[in-house]
């Protein structure tokens, strides 16, 4: 630190009458101040410490490469743990990936995880994940190659340095090399920094806004409607059923057979009226007149959740309701599960119904899954995600306070088509198309 002391001496001139000339004094003073200011700035500029730029200069300090489990696992886990700070004074949900940083993309045949290193120390300061799959667009059975970008995280000490930008750029390039036609991301409407990054810097378009519905698992069993039978559908039959039901929906995964045969899939179940059961042969793949169908994905084996930051009063009320529900299950109190310890969730996907009894059958089917979760220690909630206009939405039991309509999917066209392909693309541009009347299929591997 250099101190500079400057003494300014100003001689006051007087006019003919012996009276000071104020304008002359002011001009002389301003001239001196101006010259002194210039001199001080020059001196300060010479001794100013070097400052690293937050944009262009820092991009050269960021190196993006593919994740190596043996080399990077500990550093990535440490960095992501530091990112989970939550909002001060507010309850927050924390995620434990159970020691597997790529668990959320591992179930996709084509996936990648990239890490960002910063500076000479090569510290890992950011990560991003991506995968590619074939999906329907909801129009004329059109199928394309879709990339899903998820898990972008940057260390709190290295934000605004271009780390996130460089990670997205490299991942998009990887997606293009693998032949992806489009890429999409899912975020919350309240996550404005993420939305700005993708929509403003990378030209993604706000596309769909599905609804997340959450049903907590109580300590008591819930009754299933009378006159209803729940049938487990074999995977090979479920494949036929889903191709029939979701062929014209958006985001339907063409490798549905791999999803249904995955170890995380707990089964596909169908609810039908008992009187129709003798007339229905599941092996034909033909649906009964009235039905409801869904599949259950066990996320407990992928990640665990935990709520922190809850007030002592709220904690006491929640745990008190749980204790009372356990002691007096016949009262069927809507108790709150222990989400203050680590817990898992069952995710429902492939929900569809038909016939006049469809809503009642769907409600009973969701109740059946709730009872499954009640028997599974550590399962705290049953969750699903459906389109806002999907008819099944009104039939799915859920708590409004735990559910939200604020999920946002943004999409971007990656492929540069030429010739005939370009002409066909202009007439069937997915981004410009209206939502499919058949709704959205949410891939459980995306959760």
For residues 176 and 323, state if they share a domain: no
Structure-token match 């898990």, residue found: 151
Looking at per-residue confidence, does 379 or 59 come out higher? 379
Query: Domain of 179?
Result: 62-209+409-415+428-432
Residue 165 lies in a domain: yes
Residue 179 lies in a domain: yes
- In the chain, how many domains are there? 2
For residues 363 and 224, state if they share a domain: yes
pLDDT (mean) for 165-179: 96
Q: Give residue 125's pLDDT.
A: 95
Tell me how far apart the alpha carbons of residues 139 and 432 are, in angstroms, rounded to a whole number: 12
The model's pLDDT over 254-274, given as tens digits with 9 standing for 90+, comes to 999 999 999 999 999 999 999
The model's pLDDT over 312-345, given as tens digits with 9 standing for 90+, comes to 898 999 999 999 998 988 888 888 898 999 999 9
For residues 203 and 228, state if they share a domain: no
For residues 164 and 243, state if they share a domain: no
Which residues make Cβ contacts (< 8 Å) with residue 202, sequence separation at least 6?
168, 172, 412
Q: What is the pTM of this model?
A: 0.83
Residue 30 lies in a domain: no
Q: Give residue 239's pLDDT.
A: 96
Tell me how far apart the alpha carbons of residues 436 and 369 are, in angstroms, rounded to a whole number: 28
Token pair listed for 382: 């049953």
Q: Which band of pLDDT confidence, cut at 50, 70 and 90, is reported for residue 18? A: very low
For residues 234 and 331, state if they share a domain: yes
**E-strand stretches of 10-109:** 62-66, 92-96
Q: Give residue 87's pLDDT.
A: 65
For residues 234 and 200, state if they share a domain: no
Tell me how far apart the alpha carbons of residues 191 and 215 are, in angstroms, rounded to a whole number: 24
pLDDT (mean) for 210-225: 94
User: Which helix (DSSP H) or strand (DSSP E) does residue 407 occupy?
Assistant: strand 407-413
For residues 286 and 343, state if they share a domain: yes
Residue 31 has a CB neighbour count (10 Å cut-off) of 10
Half-sphere exposure of 406 (CA within 13 A, CB side): 11
Structure-token match 């200011």, residue found: 37
Residue 446 lies in a domain: no
Where residue 321 sits, what CATH number does that domain have?
A: 3.40.630
Exposed, middle or buried by CB within 10 Å (0-12, 13-18, 19+), for 97?
middle
Residue 346 lies in a domain: yes
DSSP string over 143-187? EEEEEEEEEEEE-GGGTTSSHHHHHHHHHHHHHHHTT-SEEEEEE
For residues 232 and 304, state if they share a domain: yes
pLDDT beyond 50 at 244: yes
Residue 350 lies in a domain: yes
What's the Cα-to-Cα distance from 296 to each of 210, 224, 293, 335, rounded to whole Å? 19, 17, 10, 23
Tell me how far apart the alpha carbons of residues 63 and 71 are, in angstroms, rounded to a whole number: 15
The model's pLDDT over 62-83, given as tens digits with 9 standing for 90+, comes to 999 999 999 999 999 999 988 8
Q: Give residue 120's pLDDT.
A: 86
Q: Which band of pLDDT confidence, cut at 50, 70 and 90, is reported for residue 428? A: low
Q: Give residue 89's pLDDT.
A: 66
Structure-token match 């630190």, residue found: 1
Residue 23 lies in a domain: no
Residue 51 lies in a domain: no
pLDDT beyond 90 at 370: yes
The model's pLDDT over 116-127, given as tens digits with 9 standing for 90+, comes to 999 888 999 999
Tell me how far apart the alpha carbons of residues 76 and 321 are, in angstroms, rounded to a whole number: 38
Distance of CA 340 to the CA centre of its chain: 22
pLDDT beyond 70 at 418: no
Tell me how far apart the alpha carbons of residues 392 and 209 are, in angstroms, rounded to a whole number: 16
For residues 266 and 358, state if they share a domain: yes
pLDDT beyond 50 at 159: yes
Where residue 114 sits, what CATH number does that domain have?
A: 3.40.630.30
């Amino acid at each position: 630190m250099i101190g500079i002391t400057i003494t300014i001496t100003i001689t006051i001139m007087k006019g003919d009458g012996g009276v000071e000339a104020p304008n002359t004094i002011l001009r002389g003073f301003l001239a001196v101040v101006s010259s002194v200011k210039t001199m001080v700035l020059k001196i300060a500029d010479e001794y100013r410490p070097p400052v690293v730029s937050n944009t262009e200069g820092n991009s050269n300090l960021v190196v993006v490469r593919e994740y190596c489990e043996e080399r990077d696992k500990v550093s990535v886990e440490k960095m992501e743990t530091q990112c989970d700070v939550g909002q001060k004074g507010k309850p927050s949900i924390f995620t434990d990936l159970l020691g597997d940083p790529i668990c959320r993309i591992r179930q996709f045949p084509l996936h990648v995880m990239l890490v960002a290193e910063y500076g000479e120390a090569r510290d890992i300061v950011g990560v991003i994940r991506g995968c590619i799959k074939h999906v329907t667009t909801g129009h004329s059975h059109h199928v394309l190659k879709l990339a899903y970008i998820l898990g972008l995280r940057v260390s709190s000490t290295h934000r605004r340095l271009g780390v996130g930008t460089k990670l997205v750029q490299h991942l998009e390039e990887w997606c293009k090399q693998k032949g992806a036609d489009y890429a999409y991301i899912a975020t919350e409407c309240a996550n404005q920094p993420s939305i700005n990054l993708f929509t403003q810097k990378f030209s993604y378009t706000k596309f769909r806004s599905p609804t997340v519905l959450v049903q907590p698992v109580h300590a008591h069993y819930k009754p299933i409607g009378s006159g209803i039978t729940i049938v487990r559908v074999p995977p090979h039959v479920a494949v036929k059923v889903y191709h029939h039901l979701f062929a014209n929906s958006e985001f339907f995964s063409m490798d549905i057979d791999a999803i249904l045969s995955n170890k995380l899939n707990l089964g596909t179940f169908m609810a039908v009226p008992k009187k129709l059961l003798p007339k229905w042969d599941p092996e034909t793949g033909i649906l009964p007149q009235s039905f409801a169908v869904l599949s259950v994905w066990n996320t407990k084996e992928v990640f665990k959740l935990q709520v922190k930051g809850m007030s002592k009063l709220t904690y006491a009320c929640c745990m008190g309701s749980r204790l009372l529900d356990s002691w007096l299950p016949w009262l069927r109190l809507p108790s709150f599960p222990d989400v203050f310890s680590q817990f898992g969730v069952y995710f429902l996907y492939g929900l569809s119904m038909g016939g006049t009894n469809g809503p009642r059958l769907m409600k009973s089917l969701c109740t059946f899954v709730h009872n499954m979760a009640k028997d599974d220690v550590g399962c705290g909630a049953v969750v699903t995600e459906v389109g806002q206009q999907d008819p099944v939405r009104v039939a799915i039991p859920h708590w409004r306070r735990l559910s939200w309509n604020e999920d946002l999917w943004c999409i971007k066209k990656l492929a540069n088509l030429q010739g005939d392909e370009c002409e066909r693309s202009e007439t069937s541009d997915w981004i410009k198309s209206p939502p499919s009347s058949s709704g959205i299929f949410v891939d459980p591997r995306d959760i």
